[in-house]
A and B are shown apart, each in its own frame.
Chain A
């Protein structure tokens, strides 16, 4: 069965510090997709990134970067030079390549607080 673990329940950092959010997943499939979502206090989940299991290239988007390592089943997310607007709950999620599968398995989330 698939599982996503986000061991960090809450993280607080001072503004402008870098912070890494960890995500470890379990799956028996060789084909799967990984996602990160941001949920600010307003409640809406905002899609950040999608990565398939065959693409291990790291990705950078502005201050955000993602490190995907199949060898350790991890898909970590780093925010560089954090800002107060980054304060939110971040969810890592996994979907397996099964016919008709529409389900996302979410981790429990990491609450990130950026202290001004």
Chain B
């Protein structure tokens, strides 16, 4: 089973709202990732968790707050977003390190109004 699930599929939020994106994998992977993808662009890495600890933060604004409650779950908490944050947010997981492929979820399409 190479499935990564993400909820919700679509999210519309105002600039003053607080919302969370959720991601889950049951492949025993030790690394989990958040990416942001704008239209017609490749995914941009935001955060990496390795063994439930934040290992990479690509200078992401603090209005995005990641959380890894356990090895299977990854959340992205959103607060006071800007319209330019509207994008497809992809979660991925892998065995970790440079040599393993990442498996992606279907994404959450976020619109900030």
Q: Is the CB of B107 within 8 A of A43?
A: yes
Q: Is the CB of B41 within 8 A of A102?
A: no
Q: Is the CB of A44 within 8 A of B105?
A: yes
Q: Is the CB of B101 within 8 A of A102?
A: no
Inter-chain contacts of B50 with A (CB < 8 A): 102
Pick from A35, A43, A47, A103: contact of B45, CB under 8 Å = A103
A100-B55, A102-B55 known; A44 vs B106 contact (CB < 8 Å)? yes
Q: Is the CB of A35 within 8 A of B101?
A: yes
Pick from B40, B42, B88, B102: contact of A47, CB under 8 Å = B102
Interface centre among B50, B55, B96, B100 (most CB of A within 10 A): B100
CA distance A46 to B99 in the complex (A): 17
Stretch at the interface among A13-21, A58-66, A80-88, A106-114: A106-114
A102 to chain B, nearest CB (A): 5
B95 to chain A, nearest CB (A): 11
A91 interface hit (Cβ, 8 Å): yes
For chain A, give the interface size range. Answer: 20 to 34
Inter-chain contacts of B94 with A (CB < 8 A): 102
B21 interface hit (Cβ, 8 Å): no
B56 interface hit (Cβ, 8 Å): yes
B38 to chain A, nearest CB (A): 12
Inter-chain contacts of B2 with A (CB < 8 A): 47
Q: Is the CB of A45 within 8 A of B43?
A: yes
Q: Is the CB of B98 within 8 A of A33?
A: yes
Q: Interface of B with A (CB < 8 Å)? A: 2, 31, 33, 40-43, 45, 48, 50, 55-56, 88, 90, 92, 94, 96-107, 109
Q: Interface of A with B (CB < 8 Å)? A: 32-33, 35, 37, 42-47, 50, 52, 91, 95-98, 100-104, 106-109
